[in-house]
Amino acid sequence: MASGKLYGGSSMSLLLQNESRLPSSSQVLDSLWLHTSDPSSFQGSKNMVVDFENGRGSSIRDRSFFQQGLIEKEENNNNGCDDDYDPSCFQQTGSNGGNSKKRRLTSEQVQFLERSFEMENKLEPERKVQLAKELGLQPRQVAIWFQNRRARFKTKQLEKEYGALKASFDKLKGDYESLLQQNDKLKQEVNALRNKLIPRDKEDENCSSDEKSSPQDVDTINSNHNKEEDEPVMMELMISNSTSNENGSKMPLPHPIILTCKQEDANSAKSDVLDDSADSPHCTNNGNHVHHHHHFSSFMEEEPADSDDFSQDDDDNLSENLLTLPCLPKVEDNDACYHEQNENTCGFGFPVEDQTFCFWPY
DNA sequence: TAGGTCAACATGGTTC
DNA sequence: GAACCATGTTGACCTA
């Protein structure tokens, strides 16, 4: 607190505080001001008076809100001129006026301006003049106040938006990280299942060579499965995938089997495979493959296949295709699936490091 | 006394 | 070209 300035705390300032809440009581204020405007009371701070509400130092112009004329006259008697009001007295010696002092607007003036700003944050010329008149300010001061007020408003808006965006970003980041964790978990599960399936394929290979089974059993599974539920078109696709070519060699099962598979099929097949319990109704030895043989047998009865087509390659295909059954998400397909889901749910373009797997809706 | 606030100013762009 | 605006800066003032 600078010494020599009259701030709130004295009996005079208390009196001013009380009286100042009645801006219309100009006579009282005039009287008070004439008493306090004695230059000796300010000791060099000629412009400072008490800010009625905040106890802050305020300006000579603050008084103009009530009785500018009288006070200015008094001030001019002491000082010679008011540097802001008389352009001839305003000499710039830098970005701020030469001997000019920063003068805060009174709280009443600010409140008035605030209300006006709330109604309209732009200032038409007529409104500017009107406000200046009502507040006892220069139109330029009103214009400057509005400019500064808009700048402050914009800064606050930006801070708000930044806070909202940051909160949103943090939330999405958390979601993304938890998805990555889920992704890792699912990958581990898939790897575990693969490890379980591979030895079974070898067992199955021995078993099926005894029975001279056809590798078409995978297709049989699909076709039988789809016979009752799926549309004929789908079934046709599945069967055509399993037919031999003209040379008699088995054509590898392409992806359309998976791509055309309905979600319910995928889910049910998934649960069949994942349900690795020995008490499965289809299981005698190791569930899945016995299940497959059952379908294979029925298919052989209905539509005898060319058993000559069977080969070691076919058996390899069987193993390979078992891994591409609907129960196990195909990498490429699920890549697309992940993308699609990702776009639908997030769409924020995070750098997805590993999008190998799609997340099933649980 | 450092740092925040704010009135006032400077500058460059836009509009009429 | 005057008026206005957005933006950045300055310096007085205020407060912890």
Q: Which residue is nearest to nucleotide C10 (CA to C1')?
A: A95
| Span CA (A69) to C1' (B9), Å | 26
pLDDT tens digits for range A2-43: 322 222 222 223 223 333 332 333 332 333 232 333 323 323
Asked whether residue A330's C-beta has any atom of DNA/RNA strand C within 7 A, the reply is no
Q: Which residue is nearest to nucleotide B5 (CA to C1')?
A: A104
Question: What does the DSSP 8-state code read for residue A261?
Answer: S
Q: Which nucleotide is nearest to A83 (CA to C1')?
A: B8
pLDDT surpassing 90 at residue A113: yes
Residue A311 near residue A249 (C-beta atoms within 8 A): yes
Q: For all residues of chain A together, what is the average pLDDT?
A: 51
Asked whether residue A2's C-beta has any atom of DNA/RNA strand C within 7 A, the reply is yes
List b or e across A297-330, with b for residues whose CB sees 16 or more CB atoms inside 10 angstroms: eebbeeeebeeebbeeebbebbbebbbbbbbbbb
Between residue 23 and residue 62 of chain A, the positions with Cβ below 7 Å from nucleic chain B are 61
Separation of alpha carbons A146 and A152, rounded Å: 10
Separation of alpha carbons A112 and A209, rounded Å: 96
| Span CA (A11) to C1' (C10), Å | 36
pLDDT surpassing 80 at residue A182: yes
Q: Which residue is nearest to nucleotide B1 (CA to C1')?
A: A1
- pLDDT band for position A93 (cuts 50, 70, 90): very low
More confident residue, A206 or A184: A184
Asked whether residue A144's C-beta has any atom of DNA/RNA strand B within 7 A, the reply is yes
| Span CA (A264) to C1' (C16), Å | 68
| Span CA (A97) to C1' (C11), Å | 9
Asked whether residue A167's C-beta has any atom of DNA/RNA strand B within 7 A, the reply is no
Asked whether residue A105's C-beta has any atom of DNA/RNA strand B within 7 A, the reply is yes
Q: Model's pTM, two decimal places? A: 0.41
pLDDT tens digits for range A295-339: 333 333 333 333 333 333 333 343 333 333 333 333 333 333 333
- pLDDT band for position A208 (cuts 50, 70, 90): low
DSSP letter for each residue of A310-359: --HHHHHHHHHHHHTSTTS--HHHHHHHHHHHHHHHT-S----S----PP
- Domain locations in chain A as residue ranges: 107-196
Separation of alpha carbons A212 and A125, rounded Å: 98
| Span CA (A42) to C1' (B1), Å | 23
Q: Which nucleotide is nearest to A5 (CA to C1')?
A: C13
Superfamily of domain A107-196: Homeodomain-like (1.10.10.60)
Asked whether residue A247's C-beta has any atom of DNA/RNA strand B within 7 A, the reply is no
Phi, psi of A116 (to 5 degrees): -65, -40
| Span CA (A331) to C1' (B2), Å | 61
Asked whether residue A141's C-beta has any atom of DNA/RNA strand B within 7 A, the reply is yes
- pLDDT band for position A101 (cuts 50, 70, 90): low
Q: Which residue is nearest to nucleotide C6 (CA to C1')?
A: A151
| Span CA (A124) to C1' (B16), Å | 14
Find and list the nucleotides of strand C having atoms within 7 Å of a protein beta carbon. 3-16
The total of other beta-carbon atoms located within 10 Å of residue A332's CB is 12
Asked whether residue A96's C-beta has any atom of DNA/RNA strand B within 7 A, the reply is yes
Between residue 31 and residue 60 of chain A, the positions with Cβ below 7 Å from nucleic chain C are 45, 47-48, 51, 54-58
Phi, psi of A86 (to 5 degrees): -110, 105
Q: What tokens appear for A49 in the block?
A: 């008076």
pLDDT tens digits for range A183-198: 999 999 999 999 988 7
Q: Which residue is nearest to nucleotide C16 (CA to C1')?
A: A1
